[in-house]
Structure 1
Amino acid sequence: MADLEVEVNGGTVVYEWVGPEDGEVVVLTPGGRFSKDYGGLHELANALAKGGKRVLLWDRPNCGRSDIQLFGRSESHMRAETLGAMLDKLGIDQVVAAGGSGGARDMIIFTLLYPEKVKKLLVWCIVGGTFSTMSLAGVYILNELRTVRTQGIEGIIKLGNPAGFGWASLCANNPRNADRLRAIGAEEFERVMYRWLDAFIPKPNEAIPGVADWEFEQIKVPTLIVRGGEGDFDHPKRTSYEVHALIKGSKLIEPPWPEDAWERASEKAHSGQGALFDFWHLGAEEFLKFIDE
């Protein structure tokens, strides 16, 4: 289906629908600052659509072709607030909130902020632990702070990213974004990045970045958690158990993909032979079973 646009909080969000118009709405959220068009997303969306679901794929702010946005307690909180307002504009009352990797964090925070909008919560590849959390500080924040302090906002406009998403690509994908960054300016950009950095400082009372453990007790909706892979440093097995323990009544299942799926996908992505989320569609059967329970 063709891309659509909606204005939220003074910026445009690009989205699309996959599946029947009368299907139960599932918001599918990827990780990183990856676009909705990144490999593996449409394959999972199509599989869920075959099960009768209407899947909402969206370019979160600072992803794909949507407008850059800089506000909120953390980047994930900003995305959650954007989704809440977006659903209101689209006239959607409730959704199944589904996400992997950074998208899992986004959907957990969305459920915390808008419990009335969530029927069920479905998460996998959850980031947590010292290595994973500190790694994300480097992926999302530290280069940005170094660059804005030495090169100003024009340096940010030209800044790439080894993962393939960076401010330069955001500006290339959406010509408005360079002007949006200039309007924000170096001082405000640095202020927001420094605030967002706090989420990626490992803390003993935060199983996942930017969410205090006590906050999880507010999640009352049926929740499905996929256990992290045995050797997955980016989405530790331990973190999935911690989140399961923190969300009362949640269900933890074994991975519906190979134990080393993330490691093998990472190897293929780095060699240009695949994408990080290529294996996610293997979870469709378990996901549909949970949604339909």
Structure 2
Amino acid sequence: MPAIQVRGANLVYEVLGDGGPWVVISPGGRRGLTSDRALGMLLAEAGFRVLVYDRRNTGASDIGFPGTSESHEQAEDLLALLQALGTGPAYVAGCSSGARLSLLLALHHPEAVRALLLWRVTGGPYAARKLAFNYYEQFIAAAESGGIDAVARTEHFAAMIAANPHNRSILDRLGADGFVAAMRRWLAGFHQGSGYPVAGLSPEEMRRIALPALIVPGNDRIHPRAPGQAAHRLLPNSEYREIMTEDVDVDVDFAAWEAKTGTLAACFIDFLRRRETLAIRRP
């Protein structure tokens, strides 16, 4: 797959479809582009040009820990990627952590976003504790107990090194002390926004996002229904659609959501086509 250097990091990407309005998809967690490629293919088959990509620190892209907030850095990376590819304003879709970065992009760079498509929005105290461990604390513990070699052996970073061997040299240059400092900096940035109804943005910031949005809430411990409902209440120009009708007592309901890929795609395509029709009707 092609890669392009964005803000000092090589990001791997793929464009699905030959034409039509641009849609970019940002997955949840630290998952790579393959996790939502099936969704992207369905959107492309419906006439949209879909950008899927490995964010910094995911998939085969480069490792890097700039700034004070991972989600803010991911939003700035996405802006630079869209500019480098010459997409113009795009429909921006995001799941979980991808929803956070999408909201931040819309807040700080609304000119780059035509509308938002957000699903499995994150929030609540359980998600805040669990994600702090998943994203940062487990890797801090590995570095402090076994140095950068231990970090490189963790499941996440071992997979990134296997996909992109250059990532091992990036970790080596950073060293255990530099890595721990970066993780603690990002952990502090995460905690600054983790207590809001929608993790990552204050209610006041959410209300300032006037762009059209479609919200599809989650149904598990890390993506409970309440943050999606809060996003709908706070975003002044949003629609709300439920796909999962029952809540489940698991951290992430991966299998059930994968089975609903076609339903989610249908919801997105309906929203996108209505937005396109409105755009054509405007003088």
Same fold (TM over 0.5): yes
Match of 1:156 among 151, 154, 164: 151
Q: Quote how far apart the aligned CAs of 1:152 are.
A: 2.1
**TM-score of the superposed pair, with normalisation by structure 2:** 0.89
Within 2, Cα distance between the matches of 1:78 and 1:181? 18
The worse-fitting range, judged by mean Cα deviation, of 188-197 and 130-139 is 188-197
1:8 alignment partner in structure 2 = 6
Q: In the alignment, which residue of structure 2 is the partner of 1:259? A: 246
Once structures 1 and 2 are overlaid, which stretch shifts more, 56-65 or 96-105? 96-105
Please state if 1:60 is matched with 2:48: no
Please identify, of 94-103 and 198-207, the stretch whose mean Cα deviation from structure 2 is larger: 198-207
CA deviation after TM superposition for structure 1 residue 263, in Å:
5.5
Aligned pairs for 1:1-293 (under 5 A) are: 3-20=1-18, 22-38=19-35, 41-160=36-155, 166-201=156-191, 206-229=196-219, 232-255=220-243, 257=244, 259=246, 266=253, 277-293=258-274
Asked whether the 8 Å contact 1:59–1:65 carries over to 2, the reply is yes
Q: Higher helix proportion, which one?
A: 2
Task: Give the 3-state SS of the residue equivalent to 1:98 in structure 2.
Answer: strand
Q: CA–CA distance in 2 between the matches of 1:204 and 1:192? A: 18
How far apart are residue 208 of structure 1 and its match? Answer: 2.9
2:231 is matched by which residue type in structure 1? V
Contact 1:205 1:213 in 2 (8 A): no
Q: CA deviation at 1:203?
A: 6.4
Give distance in 2, aligned partners of 1:17 and 1:146.
37
Alignment partners' CA distance in 1, 2:214 and 2:227: 14
1:232-260 Cα offsets, whole Å, 9 max, x none, are 212111111111122112111222x5535
Pick closer, same or farther for the CA change 1:43–1:252 going to 2, 3 Å.
same
Q: Distance in 1 between matches of 2:172 and 2:77?
A: 21
Checking the alignment, whether the CA contact within 8 Å between 2:128 and 2:191 is kept in structure 1 is yes
Structure 2 unpaired stretches of 5+: 275-283
Q: How far off its partner does 1:87 sit?
A: 1.2
Question: RMSD between aligned alpha carbons?
Answer: 2.3
Q: Which runs of 4+ in 1 moved over 4 A?
A: 202-205, 260-265
**How many angstroms apart in 1 are the aligned matches of 2:7 and 2:251?**
38
- Are the equivalent residues in 2 in contact too, given 1:48–1:55 (CA < 8 A)? yes
SS of the residue corresponding to residue 34 of structure 2 reads coil
Task: Give ranges in structure 1 of 5+ residues lacking alignment.
Answer: 161-165
Distance 1:72 1:29, change over 3 A: same
